Structure 1
């Protein structure tokens, strides 16, 4: 089998396979080019022509993994301090009260994920529920919290749904 034949048969499918993985046209072009360079260089190693497609896509997968590994080098190490999330929100008016007022099933996931810093899949295992259920509980808890902040503290929300503005809290004014 020749490189040109592989190109003719697989180039579009291979390019979109890579693009779907990396979701970046420039990166996809680089990976695509590297993949075809390796295909051309290693073509004599392909023993059976009927296995060409699997072989080609494995090279593309490996090149995609190499790309992500290279990208991760530039990301700094994350210093995970389990207390930071709690400290980050302590200045927000009524935060503790609203968390404590959540129904238990929502409070559990919020505390485990945002205060203790566990991953969602670990929370699912710990609570014996599905990952999808954890995500639903998080979304519902956030909706409840947003509503409470909006009603009590008069915070507003930006276009991304994040709290903005200063507190105008009816509870804190009385305390």
Structure 2
């Protein structure tokens, strides 16, 4: 069933307004961005191929519109409120932000803890810590290529474990926009 723009407005305008308000300081900008998001939705509705993914599609448009807003007016960048915690980078829609992020972050934390020591250390220090891969190499007394290899292998192990446990949906840039547990008895989630 195809939805019309009025139905989308009724369903998504309030949650989108909250989503935008968390990321933009000026109320006038919030309203302008919300209107721009719905103009883009209306203009692009024909490009939506999978109706069941409409929510992720709409929030992707909203995120991109917020980014465009800050690109147009670099003077406002200091008010941009973006998540800095890796757990929050997996954000979906606003009403599910905290619970969904906590769920998947809890899964990932358990998965990281079960990695072999050298890969766990590499992931924790680079992905969750502040070290670059070059700094990791120096800290561990290994070459840069050795550090990169450990991080890549650790990521690959995490991805394999996550995909065995969950069905993950990403956007074109590889950001997680949705996930579902494959097995309710998964030991990680």
**TM superposition score normalised by structure 1:** 0.45
- Structure possessing the higher relative contact order (Cα contacts under 8 Å, 6 or more residues apart): 2
Instruction: Name which one, 1 or 2, has greater alpha-carbon Rg.
Output: 1
